[in-house]
Amino acid sequence: MYRILSSSKDTYITNKIINNKFRATDANAGQAGTLDLFKLYGENLSGSDRTPTELSRLLIKFDLDEVTRMHNAGQIDVGDDSFKSQLILHDVYGGQTTPNNYHLIVFPLSQSFDEGNGYDIVNFSDLGSTNYITASSTSSTINKWNLPGAMASGSLGDENIDVIVNGTITGQTSAINLAPVIYFDTGTEDLVADVTKFVSASSKSLIDNHGFLIAFSGSYEKDKNTYFVKRFASRNSINKALRPKLTIQYNDSLQDNHENFEFDVSGSLYLNNFNRGKFANILSGSSATELTGDDCIFVKIESGSYKKIIAGSLVKRGQNNLTGIYSASFAISSYDSILYKPALLTGSITFNEIWTNENETVTYLSSSLKIRKNSRTAISYGEQRLNVSLLNLRHRYKTTEYVRIRVFAQNADRKVVFRKTPLEAPSEIFPEMYYRVRDVKSGDIYIPFDENNNSTKLSSDSQGMYFDFYMSSLPPGRSYVFDFLIKQSGFDQVIKDAASKFIVE
């Protein structure tokens, strides 16, 4: 799963000197179209204030309720090794002077902030919270930063701090760094910060989510150099594709091998159980006992005198059980004395596949499974010509939709067998197939192939291949297309003409 969340509020605070007269410490820029990060040294003076440093710091928050919901629903496991979250701010360089060769740091905030309604970023004449002095306010209370500019830092659980540097989270044996540092070479790069630890802990209510503060790392804020200006798009940017993002990446792929099970190689079979159209655990026996946990179901594979029984379990996603989905993994040797000759002569054997209880007295599902011999050919370096299409893609989607996209793939150079009766050709299964999302008009890649974390990896079942997708990840009002990457036989093949475009509205 690769999901993109939008920020719920953002702004920046500054103590910039205006007209060599006063500092704009009470100015608010909550509705500005950009997030401007800068540090000026010796550029201006303000009356009797002879301190020559002026700077700004960015504030941004993402609502993590959806991450918590997905975790509790078993769609993701925020504690699993495959879970990853990134904070992305897009650079909006427009030819202005910009600094290079510096580091930015991303701190979790220890107290909340108001976004505010200010938008004047020239004279900073719009007042209100949040600002360089005040974090938030109500009709009766003004909550100030513990130090101006939210400068008070410390460890998780410390009192009177504005930002968190590190801390020991419940379940951890030692303190971990919660403030990633990002290096900028040319200064025009996007900010991409790994905030997995914070998002994981916050979505499990181990850290309060007040958002992030982004600043030049300490040595850059304190030196005698000027860094002006690093500019990112804010959530008020006209170009919705450039607005701040929080990515949620998780390998939720399930690889069912009903259509590509091979001898001598371990494969997995899945059984899905539904009650009135919803996933539900199997109820067994007169007492309607739910089948849950490990070794709660068994698969009998038999053909002629050959018989093998394998224990199956309720599928886990990370530490979460998936309701109504069972699996069993095993291998069948083609060198078994009973199977060797039939497998060698025909290239495949069809087995009875029976899901049952341990005593084989109850049958939950009776089906068949064809197991094929491994593919062996003479050396060939030719690239396959693949036809890939999306079977159920619509032309328009609402941002609220969560959809399952079915993918059909077939080798265009396959041997064609003509038949008189109708035949539904099955899709080929590619264990390493990934999707990405591309903007049709601009060509920009909005969601990339994720080969490292496998968050865009396709799943497979007895009907073919598929992936689940949140349309809210894409800015509305634009046209997109899905591309595919297939990794096979040591080669990468990108398919760009697999599907027609679709619009999110």
Q: What are the structural domains, with CATH classification, of the chain?
A: 2-249 (no CATH), 267-372 (no CATH), 386-504 (2.60.40.10)
Can you give the pLDDT of all 505 residues of the chain as single tens digits?
999 999 999 999 999 999 888 899 999 999 999 999 999 998 887 666 667 899 999 999 999 999 999 999 999 999 999 999 999 999 998 888 899 999 999 999 999 999 999 999 999 999 999 999 999 998 889 999 999 999 999 999 999 999 999 999 887 778 999 999 999 999 999 999 999 999 999 999 999 999 999 999 989 999 999 999 999 999 999 999 999 999 999 999 999 999 999 999 999 999 999 999 999 999 998 889 999 999 999 999 999 999 999 999 999 998 889 999 999 999 999 999 999 999 989 999 999 999 999 999 999 999 999 999 987 765 555 567 788 999 999 999 999 999 999 999 987 765 655 556 655 678 899 999 999 999 999 999 999 999 999 999 999 998 899 999 999 999 999 999 999 999 988 889 999 978 789 999 9
Q: 136 forms bridges with which residues in the sheet? A: 143
Prediction pTM value: 0.92
Rg of the Cα atoms in the chain? 28
Nearest to 285 by CA among 301, 276, 294, 296: 296
Residues whose CB is less than 8 angstroms from the CB of residue 374 and which lie 6 or more positions away in sequence, other chains included: 262, 263, 264, 265
- How much helix, strand and coil, in percent to the nearest 5, is found in the chain? 5, 45, 50
